[in-house]
Amino acid sequence: MSILKIAIIGAGSSYTPELIEGLVSQKDGLPVDELAFVDIDENRLEIMAGFCRRLLKRLGHVISITATTDRRKAITDAQFVLTQIRVGGNAQRVLDEKIPLKYGVIGQETTGPGGMFKALRTIPVMLEIAKDVEQVNPSSWIINYANPTGMLAEAVSRYSHARITGLCSGALHPRWLVSHVLDVPPELVHYDYFGLNHLNFAYNVRVGDRLITEVEFNRLAEKAAWGAIDPAVIKAMKLLPIGYLQYYFHRSHKVNQARDQAYTRGEEVQRIEQEVFEAYANETQDTIPPALAKRGGGGYSEVALGVMNAIYNNIDKVIIVNVPHQGAVHGFPAEAVFELPSVINAGGIFPLHIPEIPRAVWGLVAAVKNYEQLAVEAAVTGNRETALLALMAHPLVGDYDVARPMLNEMLEANRSFLPQFFGEDIL
């Protein structure tokens, strides 16, 4: 059997050990010989490489780990290129969270203006990675977990020839919810699914071959969306939303709540990561530190490994991923990326047709998709007018008198990461 090599760009991420554990659990289907770790932070890179070698030794499994800052070297001969980068780190995330609050808008990592600026910083870097893949190893797949994953997938799909899919563990949340609340095995849980990354909905929920009852759905509504959305909204929609919909359905409350908090989530994550990396750096540490559970994002490896297994072994699998819908969703440009159930095998990724878009939310999804496409264009062109239009199109902003000064302040706060926007005067 040929050598299976995986490159991990942004390997200094605290999530990398979860992938290592997953690879060991699926060693028969994914017999990885080499992991090429890449990161621009050499300290984090060496810490993570050392910890993962100790973790593999404890698990009794042999995989060669190389650590390098040479991205093109790592990509060479890799069948899969996993990307989990955070341009600007958590320091910029904190600004993404704080600045919008000054204007009465939620500041959040992937939703609203914060998510837009994370995309503006990250898209140019992702396109550089895609260019390297095109030139060095065009047959490989980019498996992206960096946020906002749907927008990054759309940028790479529209502006390069590299093969990419965007992943998120959020698509697993309805399965976990139903299994827990209705006390059924997770493998028996099925549902239809529609939306964008962090703006999606599960519906027509089934256990085995039967649709769940209204009484069962109402029980799910009481526990859905991290408990952050009023169950009455969920019962009225008859859809199970991801928790990020709290920022749309309870926007005033969420803004006030964020203003009252002593710390943003980004500041909290900075403290958690310091604790986690102190553990990783301990040369006697060979187990994942408990503090990582505070970081969130569980399920990372399950989706990534499922996609890689389907492609590598040419096994038809239906997995929810972010991919250009190519006609699967009526009324949207074919290149628009949606988070959809898709058949995946060695031949590619084929989204399944959505026969009917849920009427309660199609307008909201359309508005956010419009914003996303404008924001992707702005990231590539550095056009401030397009960036302003993107903010005005976003349902959480939608006000020129708010969007204009907020855009200018956030651009200035990100000046060192957004050189493409500083070739013209501020609006």
Q: Which residues are catalytic?
A: 244
Q: Could you give the residue ranges of the DSSP H alpha helices within 224-250?
A: 231-237, 246-249
Helix (H/G/I), strand (E/B), else coil: 349 = strand
**168 token code pair:** 């998120």
Q: Which of 333, 337, 20 is nearest to 167 (CA)?
A: 337
Instruction: Tell me the residue type at 334.
Output: A
φ/ψ (deg, to 5) at 252: -65, -45
Q: Which of 386, 394, 370 is nearest to 427 (CA)?
A: 386
By CB neighbour count within 10 A (0-12 exposed, 13-18 middle, 19+ buried), where does 347 fall?
exposed
CB 82 within 8 A of CB 6: yes
Q: How big is the CA angle at 195 (ends 194 and 199), to the nearest 5 degrees?
A: 135
Residue 297 CB: number of other CB atoms within 10 A?
A: 16
Integer CA distances (angstroms), 156 to 23, 199, 281, in order: 26, 20, 34
By CB neighbour count within 10 A (0-12 exposed, 13-18 middle, 19+ buried), where does 388 fall?
buried
Strands 210-211 and 80-83: unpaired
CB 110 within 8 A of CB 148: yes
Residue 69 CB: number of other CB atoms within 10 A?
A: 13
Integer CA distances (angstroms), 125 to 33, 64, 178, 321, in order: 27, 27, 38, 21
φ/ψ (deg, to 5) at 153: -65, -40
Which residues have CB under 8 Å from 158's CB, separation 6+?
A: 335, 376
Instruction: Report how far residue 190's alpha carbon sits from residue 103's, in angstroms, rounded to the nearest whole number.
Output: 41
Instruction: Report how far residue 402's alpha carbon sits from residue 363's, in angstroms, rounded to the nearest whole number.
Output: 22
